Structure 1
Amino acid sequence: MKFLVVGDPMLSSKTLSGAVHDIFGSDTEVKEVDWKPASDDEFWYLRSQVEKLGPSAGKPPKELDEAVKDVDVIITHHTPISEKLINASNASYIGVCRGGVENVDVKAAKAKGIKVMRTMGRNAQAVSDFTIALMLAQLRNIAKGHEALIKGEWKKKYANSSFMGDMADKTIGLVGFGYIGKLVAQKLSGFDVSIVVYDPFVKEDVLEKYNVKAVSLEELCKQSDIISVHARLSEETKGLIGEKELSLMKSTAYLINTARAGLIDEAALIDALQQHKIGGAALDVFWTEPLQKDHPLHKLENVTITPHLAGATNDTFNKTPYLLLREFKKYLETHEESSWLVK
């Protein structure tokens, strides 16, 4: 079995190649190609464009035109695998070292009989940790206080000073209850909060296991003191949190997003924050990345913003290719259906 591994600035081909040899044996044939945009800013911009528009919006390395032809398996991380590349390839499988597959033309792969496998839950621990960190940072002005002190200011008054409270007794609303949502609920269990969930696919036994209550999106927006978004971005979920949902939120409620920016209507959120219709927001993902220097978010006092850091830990990057390749090897050996295969 011949592998093609496609690295990028976050996960190199050498790392991917090492994982293939560890899981499938040192004598496994592996081709290595790396996607190397001109700068980190260009990489993040192209990555965000692919997230929104699909693999055709990216600029994969020219070497892939030839490299894809004579391999059985393609392993990628963020590098876009377009319809053109898929049609030129004789591969049977494409593996993505991410939970999402926005960088792969899945429709083209299916048309050619190529199975696409993603890495479910690969950064769930990292993102769930970061989600709770953002909740606390926004609630208690941790980042804002740090920023003020760095500037030499002993600041005690903030945009939420009139309603700032404790985590205890708050209602937390989780939009999406997959790997990450479940871990957030589990990690919040020591904070003495109530948790409501909006997820049309969650089962009753799962709700009971995590001691959460299922509600409609409308009810979640009305009840929650903090709303955290953990859904997948798709045509159905694009703009899931829009003007209507924001209008239902309490004026003291916070919106947290460590998932995908497209799940929230950008214009509606900016307006809600500028007009103080909600208490504030903490965002790790943006509609265009890097975040433009003149973006309105930079001027707002009721937001905490971080540069897409939630899933970016060394632990996550180091273990991801191993998670994917172990699941792939198991599938090859047992032929049992895997939930990691994209339907």
Structure 2
Amino acid sequence: MKFLVVGDPMLSSETLGQAVRDIFGQEVAVSGVDWKPASDEEFWHLRSQVEKLGPDAGQPPAELTQAILDADIVITHHTPLNGALIRSSKARYIGVCRAGVENIDVAAAKEKGIQVMRTMGRNAEAVSDFTIALMLAELRNLARGHAALRRGEWKKKYPNSAFMGDMKGKTVGLVGFGYIGKLVARKLSSFNMRLIAYDPFVKEEVLQESQVEKVSLEELCHQADFISLHARLSKETAGLIGKREFALMKPTAYVINTARAGLIDEQALVEALQNGQIGGAGLDVFWTEPIADKHPLLSMENVTITPHLAGATNDTFRMTPYLLLEELKKVVVQSAASAWFVK
């Protein structure tokens, strides 16, 4: 059984290879290739393009063309594996150290009979922590106060000063109730807040177990003091929050996005913030990354922005390959046992 590990600037082939040996044994054959864009900026740009347009939008390392030919199992993180690479492979499994598989040509893998595995919930702790941090930062002006002091200003007045309050008693609306949404709800429960959620794929009893009320998207936008996004980006969810939804929101509401920028209509958000239609926003993701110079968000006083940091913790990167490989090992062992039984 031959493994090919494909690293990138965030998770190297050396790290992935060590995880493979720890789970499958030190004697297992492992070869490695690293995706090395010219700069961090190029990596983040290509990563963003792949997220939006698929694996053909990336630039996988040239050596991957030869390396993938001999692999039984391919483990990757962000590196794009396009149809040409996958069709040339004899691999039985492709494992992705992410919850999404936007960097994999899944259709090509299906044609070849290759099973694609992803790592669900891998950064749920990190992102849920960060979501709450953004709520607090936006509500209490943490980043703005810090920036003002660095400029030599002792600033006490902010755009939300007229309605700045406590977390207690506020309503949080969760758009999406998967791994991250559930953790956000659990962690917010100690703040004594009302929790509501919109997720058409989650049964009401599942929400009730977390003491979360199921509502429509319209109801959520109308009632929530914080609208926090935790849905996957797809054709169905692109632009889920647009002019119509912003018109339903309270003028004191905060929109928090640690999921994907495409869930929100960019121009509609900019206008809602500029016009004071909502109270503010806390954003960790953007429509183009890095965010464009002179983007309107960069000069606004009612927004807290961070450079896509929510899921990027050392604990997340350390544990992700192990979570994936433990599940992969179960599948491989079960498959081998089934093959032996048939014989």
Provide structure 2 residue ranges, at least 5 long, that are not aligned to the other structure: 337-343
Of all paired residues, the percent bearing the same amino acid is 71
> Residue by residue, what CA displacement relative to the aligned partner does 1:108-152 show, whole Å, maximum 9, x if unpaired?
111221111000100000000000000000000000000000111
CA distance in 1, matches of 2:269, 2:251: 13
Pairwise mapping of residues 140-159 of structure 1 onto structure 2 (< 5 A)? 140-159=140-159
CA distance in 2, matches of 1:277, 1:178: 29
Aligned to 2:267: 267
> Residue by residue, what CA displacement relative to the aligned partner does 1:232-255 show, whole Å, maximum 9, x if unpaired?
111111111111111111111000
Q: How far is 1:13 from its partner?
A: 0.2
SS in 2 for 1:228: strand
Q: How far is 1:205 from its partner?
A: 2.8
Which amino acid counterpart does residue 268 of structure 2 have in structure 1?
A
> Residue by residue, what CA displacement relative to the aligned partner does 1:146-195 show, whole Å, maximum 9, x if unpaired?
00001110001111111111111101000000000000000001101000
Aligned to 1:120: 120
Aligned to 2:294: 294
Pairwise mapping of residues 139-178 of structure 1 onto structure 2 (< 5 A)? 139-178=139-178
Q: How far is 1:207 from its partner?
A: 1.2
How many residues are matched?
A: 336
Q: How far is 1:334 from its partner?
A: 3.1
Which amino acid counterpart does residue 15 of structure 2 have in structure 1?
T
Aligned to 2:218: 218
Aligned to 2:136: 136
Q: How far is 1:204 from its partner?
A: 2.8
Aligned to 2:252: 252
Pairwise mapping of residues 32-181 of structure 1 onto structure 2 (< 5 A)? 32-181=32-181
> Residue by residue, what CA displacement relative to the aligned partner does 1:24-54 show, whole Å, maximum 9, x if unpaired?
0111111100000000000011111111111
SS in 2 for 1:201: coil
Which amino acid counterpart does residue 280 of structure 1 have in structure 2?
G
CA distance in 2, matches of 1:265, 1:204: 28
SS in 2 for 1:69: helix
Pairwise mapping of residues 274-289 of structure 1 onto structure 2 (< 5 A)? 274-289=274-289
SS in 2 for 1:116: strand
CA distance in 1, matches of 2:89, 2:134: 43
Which amino acid counterpart does residue 322 of structure 1 have in structure 2?
Y
Provide structure 1 residue ranges, at least 5 long, that are not aligned to the other structure: 337-343
CA distance in 1, matches of 2:99, 2:245: 26
- 1:2 is aligned to 2:13: no
TM-score, normalization by structure 2:
0.96
SS in 1 for 2:329: helix
SS in 2 for 1:47: helix
CA distance in 1, matches of 2:127, 2:335: 31
Aligned to 2:30: 30
CA distance in 1, matches of 2:201, 2:325: 27
Which amino acid counterpart does residue 14 of structure 2 have in structure 1?
K
